[in-house]
C-alpha cells in the first residue's frame, strides 16, 4: 500500500523500494490493492476506492480543523525504520542509499507541513555532512589506532534511541488506569456482631453438681404434694432477669425448696436457652457463669 508521508506509523513492515512521490509500507505477504499512481498519491479513500483529487464542489469551512498524522516520532525514528526495513547492519550503514530515501521522505512531508519538515531537515544536513566526510580521503592514523568513522556518532544515537523506544513499548504494555481498567469504589456495610464467650460444659456440670449438693444438705421433708410447672418456672426466671442485667447462674436456684423444685427450675432454664430467650455466658475458664436476657425488655 502506498501512502503519503502523513500516514500511519509503519513499524515492522517491509515492501518495495519507495518511489519518488511516496514511501511504500506494504506489509510483507500482502498485495497492494491501490492502483498505480504516476503524478501523485491518494488523498483519501471513498467506499474503498482511492481519491487522488478533491471534488470541485467540496466546501471546507475556513475554521475547519486540520489534522496531520505524523508517520514517525522524529528523524531518528525515520532513520531507524529505513535501516531495519531493509535489514541493513546498523554498525555499517550504507549512507548513500539511506540518505537518498531519507531525503525522499523529507520532500514528501515538506509539501504538507513545512514546520514539521524543518526538524527532519536538520538530520538531513547531518547525513549529507557525514556522506561528504566519507568521500574525503581518510586521515593517516598511528599504528595500532583505528581510523575514525564519521558514522560513529550517528550509530551511537540510533542504538540509544532504539533501546529507549523498546523500553517505552514494554512500559506501554503494562496495564494503565483509564485505558485497560477503571478503578471503582464499592461501599460495603460492615456490622459488628458481639460474640460472647462460650460456656464450658464441664464448668456447667460442676456448678450444677454443687447446686445439687447444697440442695441435699438442706433437704426438708414435706407431707403435702406440690405440682411443679416448667412454664411457671420459666416465667419466674424471665421476670427475675428483667430486673437485672446479669444474674449469676447459682442465684437462680433456691436449694431450700428441695431437689424437685431445683430440677424443674434447671429444666426451665434449659428450655429458655433452647428458645434463645436467655444467654448463658462465662468470661473465661473457671469464672462464674452468668445468665442474661437475649433481648431488650420493653
- The answer to whether the predicted template modeling score (pTM) of the entire model surpasses 0.75 is no
Quickly tell me which residue has 544515537 as its cell. 157
Q: Are 235 and 202 in contact (CB under 8 A)?
A: no
pLDDT at site 220: 67
- Region label for 190, one of left (φ > 0), alpha (ψ between -120 and 50) or beta (otherwise): beta
Q: Chain-centre distance of CA 262, in angstroms?
A: 66
Q: pLDDT tens digits, residue range 109-161?
A: 777 777 777 778 888 888 888 888 888 777 776 777 777 778 888 889 899 98
Residues 6+ apart with CB under 8 A from 15: 24, 25, 26, 27, 28, 32, 85
Q: Where are the chain's structural domains?
A: 2-135+149-172, 201-293
Q: pLDDT tens digits, residue range 60-100?
A: 788 776 555 556 788 888 888 888 888 888 888 888 888 88
**Right CATH for 201-293 from 2.60.40.1180, 3.40.50.300, 1.10.10.580, 3.20.10.10:** 1.10.10.580
- How far is 194 from 250, CA to CA, in rounded Å? 25
- How far is 250 from 247, CA to CA, in rounded Å? 8
Q: pLDDT tens digits, residue range 266-297?
A: 999 999 989 988 888 888 888 888 898 888 77
Amino acid at each position: 500500500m502506498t501512502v503519503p508521508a502523513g500516514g500511519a506509523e509503519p513499524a515492522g513492515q517491509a515492501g518495495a523500494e519507495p518511489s519518488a512521490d511516496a514511501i511504500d509500507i506494504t506489509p510483507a505477504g500482502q498485495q497492494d490493492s491501490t492502483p498505480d499512481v504516476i503524478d501523485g498519491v491518494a488523498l483519501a479513500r471513498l467506499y474503498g476506492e482511492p481519491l487522488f483529487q478533491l471534488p470541485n464542489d467540496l466546501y471546507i469551512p475556513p475554521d475547519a480543523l486540520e489534522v496531520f498524522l505524523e508517520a514517525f516520532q522524529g528523524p531518528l525514528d525515520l532513520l531507524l525504520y529505513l535501516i531495519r526495513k531493509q535489514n541493513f547492519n546498523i554498525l555499517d550503514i550504507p549512507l548513500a542509499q539511506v540518505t537518498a530515501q531519507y531525503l525522499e521522505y523529507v520532500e514528501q512531508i515538506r509539501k504538507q507541513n513545512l514546520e514539521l519538515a524543518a526538524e527532519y531537515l536538520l538530520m538531513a544536513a547531518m547525513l549529507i555532512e557525514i556522506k561528504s566526510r566519507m568521500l574525503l580521503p581518510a586521515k593517516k592514523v598511528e599504528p595500532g589506532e583505528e581510523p575514525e568513522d564519521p558514522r560513529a556518532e550517528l550509530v551511537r544515537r540510533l542504538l540509544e534511541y532504539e533501546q529507549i523506544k523498546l523500553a517505552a513499548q514494554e512500559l506501554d504494555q503494562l496495564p494503565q488506569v483509564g485505558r485497560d481498567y477503571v478503578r471503582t469504589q464499592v461501599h460495603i456495610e460492615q456490622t459488628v456482631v458481639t460474640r460472647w464467650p462460650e460456656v464450658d460444659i464441664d464448668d456447667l456440670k460442676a456448678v450444677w453438681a454443687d447446686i445439687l449438693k447444697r440442695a441435699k444438705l438442706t433437704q426438708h421433708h414435706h407431707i403435702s404434694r406440690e405440682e411443679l410447672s416448667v412454664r411457671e418456672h420459666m416465667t419466674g426466671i424471665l421476670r427475675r432477669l428483667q430486673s437485672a442485667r446479669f444474674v449469676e447462674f447459682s442465684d437462680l436456684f433456691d436449694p431450700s425448696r428441695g431437689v424437685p423444685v431445683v430440677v424443674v427450675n434447671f429444666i426451665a432454664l434449659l428450655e429458655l436457652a433452647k428458645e434463645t430467650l436467655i444467654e448463658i455466658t462465662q468470661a473465661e475458664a473457671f469464672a462464674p457463669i452468668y445468665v442474661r436476657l437475649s433481648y431488650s425488655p420493653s
